[in-house]
Amino acid sequence: MMGIIYEQSHQQQADGGSLWLLVTVLIAALVTSTYMTWFWALSRRLTGPKVWPLFGSLPSLLANRARMHDWISDNLRATGGAATYQTCILPLPLIARRQGLVTVTCHPRNLEHVLRTRFENYPKGPQMQAAFHDLLGGGIFNSDGETWLLQRKTAALEFTTRTLRQAMARWTNRSIRDRLWRILADHCADGRAVDLQDLLLRLTFDSICGLTFGKDPETLSPSLPHNPFTVAFDAATEATLQRLLFPGFFWRLKKALRLGSEGRLWKSLEVVDRYMTAAIAERKESPSDDLLSRFMKKRDAHGNSFSSSVLQRIALNFVLAGRDTSSVALSWFFWTVMRRPDVERRLVDEITAVLKETRGPEPAAWLVEPLGFDELERLVYLKAALAETLRLYPSVPQDTKYVAADDVLPDGTMVPAGSTINYSIYSLGRMETIWGKDCREFRPERWLSAEGYRFEPAKDPYQFVAFNGGPRTCLGKDLAYLQMKSIASAVLLRHRLELVPGHRVQQKMSLTLFMKNGLRVYVRPRNHCGDLVCSSTDQVRATPAGVATAPAA
Q: Which residues are CB-contacts of 34 (< 8 A; sequence separation ≥ 6)?
A: none
H-assigned helices in 97-193: 108-112, 126-136, 145-159, 162-175, 181-190
Contact status, residue 509 vs residue 186, Cβ threshold 8 Å: no
Q: What is the pLDDT along the chain (553 residues), one digit of tens a residue?
A: 555 554 555 555 555 567 777 778 888 888 888 888 888 888 888 888 888 898 888 888 888 888 889 999 999 999 988 999 999 888 888 887 888 899 999 999 999 999 999 999 999 888 888 888 888 887 777 788 887 887 787 777 777 667 777 888 888 999 999 999 999 999 999 899 999 999 999 999 999 888 888 888 889 988 888 888 888 988 888 888 888 777 678 888 999 999 888 999 999 999 999 988 888 888 888 877 788 888 888 777 677 787 888 888 888 888 887 888 899 999 999 999 999 999 999 999 999 999 999 999 999 999 999 999 899 999 999 999 999 999 999 999 999 999 999 999 999 999 999 999 999 999 999 999 999 999 999 999 999 998 888 999 999 999 999 999 999 999 889 889 999 999 999 999 999 999 999 999 999 877 889 999 999 999 999 987 544 444 333 333 333 333 344 444 5
Contact status, residue 526 vs residue 496, Cβ threshold 8 Å: yes
Query: Cα 220–222–227 angle (5° rounding)?
Result: 45
Q: Which residues are CB-contacts of 251 (< 8 A; sequence separation ≥ 6)?
A: 131, 242, 243, 262
State the binding site for heme.
Answer: 474
HSE at residue 412, side-chain half, CA atoms within 13 A, is 1
**In the prediction, which pLDDT does 115 show?**
96
* Closest to 523 measured CA to CA, from 279, 196, 293, 255: 196
**In the prediction, which pLDDT does 529 show?**
59
**In the prediction, which pLDDT does 409 show?**
97
Classify the C-alpha dihedral 488-164-133-465 as positive or negative. Answer: negative
Contact status, residue 141 vs residue 152, Cβ threshold 8 Å: no
**Beta strand 420-424 pairing with 101-105:** parallel
Calpha distance 231→172 (Å, rounded): 21
**In the prediction, which pLDDT does 547 show?**
38
**In the prediction, which pLDDT does 544 show?**
34
**In the prediction, which pLDDT does 138 show?**
79
**In the prediction, which pLDDT does 321 show?**
79
The residues pairing with 20 across neighbouring beta strands, listed in sequence order, are none
Residue 201 has phi, psi (to 5 degrees) of: -60, -40
The count of residues in the chain is: 553
CA 160 vs CA 155, 346, 371, 524, 545: distances in Å:
9, 31, 22, 38, 31
Contact status, residue 518 vs residue 504, Cβ threshold 8 Å: no
State the binding site.
Answer: 474
Q: What is the pTM of this model?
A: 0.88
Query: Per residue, what are the HEC states of 320-366?
Result: HHHHHHHHHHHHHHHHHHHCCHHHHHHHHHHHHHHHHHHHCCCHHHH
CA 331 vs CA 284, 337, 398: distances in Å:
36, 10, 18
Calpha distance 430→510 (Å, rounded): 20
Helix, strand, or coil (residue 193): coil
